[in-house]
Amino acid sequence: MPDESSNLTERQIVPIAATEGLMPDRQLSELPRDELGHLAEDLGLDPTRFKTAPLLVAAIHQRRQLIADLDRDAMLDVVRWGRRPVPIDSSKERIAVEIARIKSMKFSGLSQRGLMALARLRDIGVTETEPAPVPVLIRKLRKQEGIFQRFNRRRRSFLGSIVAGIVGENDSTADYKFLPPSPTDGERPVATGSATIKEEIEQSGLIGGISNRIKRTADQYLNQKLDEIEARIDRKLDEIDRRLAEWRDREIANRIRILKITLWASVIVAIVSLIYSYVTTYLTK
């Protein structure tokens, strides 16, 4: 019989997916430094800014409180603007993780409340109680980026436009599916369209953007093939079931026909026998 206490210890050190926001606070401080770093990165924090684990834990706590304070609709505005495929019933923390992955600096199309949410998640000095106008928020967000980062982004954007020109990719607005419903049990999540290759390269760099695009295309291809295989298997199973039902009905009908023939033979023999008995009993004596 396994030892209960050792099992408990093993269970405690297994990290739960941070993106779902299921990790109790009690366990957060018990996580190793690298796990804390990943969690902080997922939530949009820079783990290198925090020298010790307790500081990082405190920052994560603070970030979670901030996320809990944010308006869900404003967060969804950001997700829509950033073209991230998030299930519509996702938790706030899950949405915040997706927002943290958005690196775009083109704020056109983003609502004021969305800008506020984005600014708060990017640690710009704004508060919910003092909503700033859109131009001010955009200026603050751009100022936070820094000269070198802006230069690198422009360089990546230039590279992206060259690659997009080589590949011949048009704007992929049409195939973007915003906020798909949550996948049910046994259903694979639907790969959704996202930014253009130019935007991807601008956000993730040349190699990162291209590899992301290849990965997503491969995912879509695989999902499509899996769907086709599943449909083919379903068709085959239906065919087998139909044939089995036909065979069952035919077999039962044959058995009953054999029984009927046997009964006919028995009845005929019984009639002959009765006539014979009658003749031998009453007519021949």
Partner 1 sequence: MPHIDFFIFFRLVLEIVVGIYATAVTLQSVYGWYVYLQGGDRYLSMIRRYLLVHGLRVRFKTFWGDVVVSILLSVALVILWHAHTVLAEGVVLQNAGRIIQPH
CB of 257 to partner 1, least distance (A): 6
Nearer to partner 1, 150 or 243 (CB): 243
Nearer to partner 1, 218 or 244 (CB): 244
CB of 187 to partner 1, least distance (A): 23
* Whole-number Å distance between alpha carbons of 71 and 88: 15
Nearer to partner 1, 25 or 251 (CB): 251
CB of 55 to partner 1, least distance (A): 53
CB of 273 to partner 1, least distance (A): 6
Please name the residue that has the structure tokens 């404003």.
74
Nearer to partner 1, 72 or 257 (CB): 257
Tokens of 169: 């990719």
Nearer to partner 1, 221 or 264 (CB): 264
Nearer to partner 1, 55 or 265 (CB): 265
Which residues here bind partner 1, judged by CB under 8 A?
Answer: 244-245, 248-249, 252-253, 256-257, 259-260, 263-264, 266-267, 269-271, 273-274, 276-278, 280-281
Contact 50, 59 (CB under 8 A): yes
Nearer to partner 1, 108 or 281 (CB): 281
CB of 237 to partner 1, least distance (A): 12
CB of 247 to partner 1, least distance (A): 10
Helix (H), strand (E), coil (C) string for the chain? CCCHHHHHHHHHHCCCCHHHCCCCHHHHCCCCHHHHHHHHHHCCCCHHHCCCHHHHHHHHHHHHHHHHHCCHHHHHHHHHHHCCCCCCCCCHHHHHHHHHHCCCCCCCCCCHHHHHHHHHHCCCCCCCCCCCCHHHHHHHHHHHHCHHHHHHHHHHHHHHHHHHHHHCCCCCCCCECCCCCCCCCCCCCCCCECCCHHHHHHHHCHHHHHHHHHHHHHHHHHHHHHHHHHHHHHHHHHHHHHHHHHHHHHHHHHHHHHHHHHHHHHHHHHHHHHHHHHHHHHHCC
CB of 238 to partner 1, least distance (A): 14
